[in-house]
Structure 1
C-alpha cells in the first residue's frame, strides 16, 4: 500500500513512502489514500497514492487533479476518526465536474490512517527498498458485515487496514488469521513474481472460494534499468531524461577520458568497459531483465556490432542505436553477417527515436524517451487529435 520504488511494469509512482516513514517515526499520524482498482481510462495505476498530514500538507496524487479535492476532505476525516474508507470515483451525470473523473475512468481508492503502530511494517518496507529487494504489500481494503454459517465470529471492521509485508521469504504483519495469512502470502508472492498488482478475495478465515474480504496486493520492484553506451553529449541528455522517467541509469564507454561521473551527474553509475563485455557480464549476473532499455549512441562499428548482436539476442524492453540512415544500412549488413535473424533485427530501433524534428541533444533525448514510452504501452506516436478511443492504454 506504500507507494514506493516502482510498480512491476516499470512505471514510477509518486514516492510518498519516505514522508510516511518520517512522519510516523516522529510520532505523527497521516492519512494515506491509495488506488486499489481502476477501470477504463483511469489516469493513475493501482498503487498510486496521496498522503495527507495533520498539518494539511499533501504529497502525491491519485488522479492528476480530478478527485483530489474531495479525497483531501475524506483523508482529513479518516485522520480524525481512524476509520478506513473505500471510495469509488467515476463520471456521473450529476457530478462529473465535482468529484468525478472527467476522463471517463473509474477508480477505487482506499483511505487509511497510519501511525506509529505501523512502524514495524514501515521498517520492513524501508529495509526492502534499501536492499533493492522486490516487495509485496497486502492490505485488507474491504470487509463485508456478517459471517458465513457456522463460522467462528469475526469483527469485519477489525480486519480493515490490516497488512502483510512480503520480502523474499520474510513475512511481517498479519491479516488476523493464520490460514488467511498463509493463503494471501502464497497468492501475493505469485502476483509479485508475475509482475502484477491486484485485488484478491477470500473468506474471513482464508477460504479461497469464500467472500467477505478484499485484499489489495501492491507489487513493487526495484527500478528498471537504462544502459546508455557511448559517453557523448547526447548520452548525457538521454541519461538525464532516463533518470526523470524513473530508470536506474548506467553510462558505459571504453574510453576513460570520456566516461567520468562529472560528465554524467544524473547517472547512477558510470562504467569504463568495452560495451559488449559489460552487457555480457550484466546478463550473466542476472542484472538485466525484460524491463531493461539499451541505448547505443557510440555509432562506431567496433563497439556497436558486437554489442547489438548480444543485446538483440535477448528479450529486452528496448534496444535503440544512433546513426544516420547510411550507418543504419551498414550496421544491418554487419549484424546479418554476425548471424542475427530477421526477427531479431526487427527489434532494433534504428535510427533511434521518434520523428519529432529535434536537433539538440535534449530534443533528441525527448524523441528517444517518447519511443521507449510508446513501446512500453503500445502507443502509436501519432497526435492524440488524430486518434479515437481511450487515451490511457491498459498495462
Structure 2
C-alpha cells in the first residue's frame, strides 16, 4: 500500500468512493509480496497491482464492484476460477472493499505514520461469521508480522509498516540524481549530503532529503543518533579525496550497515585504498567497501551506473538473507 499512499489520500480527501484490493495470501511462489494493493479511484483510474498479470483484469472488476455496491469479501483467484488465464498462474487470495472516508475513517492516521517513517500496523477483518464485521479496521503502533491470521470465527489480515530502508548519498552530482531515482523505485528513503551549497539543490533531487554539511560530520551525527543500521546503504559519488576519505574513515568504523560503495575508476580506487591503509585500516576492514561500486555491466551513464549499483546492493542483500536462513 505504501506505493499508492498518495493516490489513496486523494480519494479519501475527495469524499468519493473507490475500490481497494489487497493481496492477503499466496500459494506457492509469487512475484508480489503479501500486502500489495490495487486502488481503483472514482474516475476509473488504477493504481498499484496485486498480480503479475494473471488476474489483474478480474481483480480490477471485483474492486469496481466493491466501490459501486459496498461489497466486502475475500476472493480466491486460481486457474480453476473460470478465468482465461494460463495454467502456470498460481493461486492468490485477495480482499476487496470499498474505500472512502466512511469505509476507512482511520486511514489518515495510517498515512501520517507511514509518511513520518514510523511503525504502524493495520488489522483488517477479511472474513467473519457476522458479515457486518467484515472490513472493520484497527490501527496500532505495535509491530507485527504481515500475515493472514485464521481464527475460529474470523480471518484477520495483519499489515505491518516499518520505516523504509535508507540510502545516504555523499556528493551532489548527476550520478547522485540518477541513484536517487533508482533507490526510490526500490523503496529507499534517500538523503543526499554535500558540503557545497551550490550543488546541493533540493530541486535537483526530487523526493530526497538534501543536507548541506561535510559528509563525515553528517555521518558521524547520524551514527551517534542511532540512525544507521543493517539496512542502510551508504554510497559515495564524489571522488574528491577531501570529501571521500574522511567519510569512508567514519563509515568503515561503523559496526553495521547494509551496503558501502564508492564510485570511481580503478586507479582512483587504488589511491583511495592507499589513503585508507595509511589511516590504519587492514584488508579485512577494507573488504567491506564495494569499489568501484556496482556490478560490471558495462555502465557508462549516470542512470546505467545507478542500475549497476542497485543490482550490486540487491545481490549482497540476497546473499546475506540466504546466509542468515542457513545459519
Q: TM-score range by the shorter chain?
A: 0.7 to 0.9
How big is the shift at 1:131?
A: 3.6
From 291, 305, 311, the counterpart of 2:251: 311
Deviations 1:232-284 (A, max 9, x none): 3322322233334333322222333433335x232523222221111111122
User: How many angstroms apart in 2 are the aligned matches of 1:341 and 1:40?
Assistant: 45
Q: How is 1:174-323 mapped onto 2 (pairs within 5 angstroms)? A: 189-191=142-144, 196-202=145-151, 211-262=152-203, 264-266=204-206, 268-312=208-252, 313-323=254-264
Q: Which residue of 2 aligns with 1:117?
A: 102
Secondary structure of the residue that 1:110 maps to in structure 2? strand
Deviates more, 1:301-310 or 1:69-78: 301-310
- How many Å apart are 1:322 and its aligned residue? 1.4
State the shift of 1:357 in Å.
0.8
Where does the alignment leave 5 or more consecutive residues of structure 1 unmatched?
5-13, 146-154, 168-188, 203-210, 380-395
Secondary structure of the 2:139 match is strand
Q: How many Å apart are 1:119 and its aligned residue?
A: 4.8
Alignment of 1:1-395 (within 5 A): 3-4=1-2, 14-15=3-4, 17-91=5-79, 98-99=84-85, 102=88, 104-143=89-128, 145=129, 155=130, 157-167=131-141, 189-191=142-144, 196-202=145-151, 211-262=152-203, 264-266=204-206, 268-312=208-252, 313-340=254-281, 343-378=284-319
- In the alignment, the residues of structure 2 paired with residue 260 and residue 24 of structure 1 have an alpha-carbon distance, to the nearest angstrom, of 33
Task: Provide the C-alpha distance between the structure 1 equivalents of 2:68 and 2:180, rounded to a whole number of angstroms.
Answer: 44
Please identify, of 67-76 and 217-226, the stretch whose mean Cα deviation from structure 2 is larger. 217-226
Q: TM-score, normalised by structure 1?
A: 0.71
1:56-102 deviations in Å (ceiling 9; x for gaps): 3322211132211111222233334433222233455x96x724684
Q: CA RMSD in A?
A: 2.8
C-alpha separation in 1, matches of 2:20 and 2:148: 18
Q: Given the two structures, how large is their TM-score scaled by the length of structure 2?
A: 0.85
The DSSP-based 3-state class of the residue aligned with 1:349 is coil
Aligned length: 319
For the Cα contact (< 8 Å) 2:143–2:160, is it kept in 1? no
Measure the CA separation in 2 of the matches of 1:338 and 1:88: 60
Cα displacement string for residues 158-204 of structure 1 (whole angstroms, at most 9, x for unaligned residues): 3321111123xxxxxxxxxxxxxxxxxxxxx242xxxx4222334xx
Could you say which structure has the greater relative contact order, defined with CA pairs below 8 angstroms and 6 or more residues apart? 1
CA distance in 2, matches of 1:218, 1:294: 29
